[in-house]
Amino acid sequence: MVDTGSEKGFQLRRQGDLLYMQAPLLAGCDGVIHAFSTRRGGCSKGDMAALNTAFHTDDDTGNVFENRRRFLEPLGFHPNEVIAAIQVHGSRVRRVEAVDRGRGAAPGNFLGEGDALITDLPGLPLTGYAADCLLLFIVDPGVPAVALAHAGRQGTLENMAGAVVAALNSHFNADPARMLVVLSPGICGRCYTVERDLAGDFREDGWCKKPYLWEGTPGEFHLDLAAINRRQLLRAGIRPGNLAGCRWCSSCSPALFYSYRRDRGKTGRMMGLIALQGGGDGAAGGGGA
């Protein structure tokens, strides 16, 4: 399986009981805070165990808030500051402003629908949620500007990767040739199978052979979302050396990751976060724990 640059992609980090991930490609980028959570180190029970970060699950809201606190505090953020959109498996990109801080911090208080967030303002924690889908972490250190995009099957079919790169360019004059991009863990092509109809949508779009799409047992098609997203990013102008994949599969690693497919929908979500450092006012989202 092609996975270029995974050594610069997400790696496990430990802080006490908390296991999370950071990518060397972005860690070397001054003034950018980023991380991807694992399921380890949280307080949720049962199918949601342990560090579920999303409200749109069967989890208790208080648990989600506590899990977010455990993940965010070492990064310098409070759960009240979280910014998130309602992910609808599309390719809509939303520009985030200072007034949006905290829109995503509680059930019923979201930015609205969208699957990618972009900003050039410091101190705004852009977040995305996934359990098999990919999160794309993007930085243009020259602006600077950051983006976090959610790309599952439908978002990938709609070229979310290309859409978010184009939005960074049109809003902030960001340059694809300068952008650094890291893909989160997601479901691998061996684990992810789709039926003929869905495979047909990808085939019509030109994704008709390995490493993107291939037939396993007759009628069962394997889809590699990461391979397609990498190709879309290169087409959008990202340089190969500035693009890092990930060697981890959400479905293959039940001890570390939630997987919607593997767990038949009864599962939690990992959180991805990216922000530009600064902004000054710290816990502006309401102060204190």
Nearer to Zn ion, 44 or 259 (CB): 259
Give every strand in the sheet of 221-223, ordered side by side: 193-194, 221-223, 213-215
> Cα separation of 187 and 226, whole Å?
8
> Binding to Zn ion by residue 35, rule CB under 5 A?
no
Nearer to Zn ion, 188 or 228 (CB): 188
Near Zn ion by CB under 5 A, which window of 18-26, 34-42, 116-124, 187-195? 187-195
The nearest distance, CB 251 to Zn ion, in angstroms, is 4
> Binding to Zn ion by residue 191, rule CB under 5 A?
yes
Count of residues near Zn ion by CB under 5 A: 5
Near Zn ion by CB under 5 A, which window of 16-24, 36-44, 75-83, 185-193? 185-193
> Binding to Zn ion by residue 188, rule CB under 5 A?
yes
The nearest distance, CB 164 to Zn ion, in angstroms, is 25
Which tokens in the block code for residue 268?
Answer: 């939690």
Q: Is 169 exposed, middle or buried (0-12, 13-18, 19+ CB in 10 A)?
A: middle
Query: Under rule CB under 5 A, which residues in 245-264 are in contact with Zn ion?
Result: 249, 251-252
Contacts of 160 (CB under 8 A, 6+ apart): 90, 91, 115, 116, 136, 149, 150, 151, 229
Quick one: which of 142, 165, 161, 162 has its CA closest to 152? 161
The nearest distance, CB 140 to Zn ion, in angstroms, is 31
Nearer to Zn ion, 87 or 251 (CB): 251
User: Do residues 175 and 169 touch, judged by C-beta distance below 8 A?
Assistant: yes
The nearest distance, CB 157 to Zn ion, in angstroms, is 20
The nearest distance, CB 254 to Zn ion, in angstroms, is 10
Nearer to Zn ion, 148 or 191 (CB): 191
> Cα separation of 139 and 182, whole Å?
9
Distances, alpha carbon 185 to alpha carbons 12, 15, 20, in Å: 11, 20, 12
Residues that bind Zn ion (CB under 5 A): 188, 191, 249, 251-252
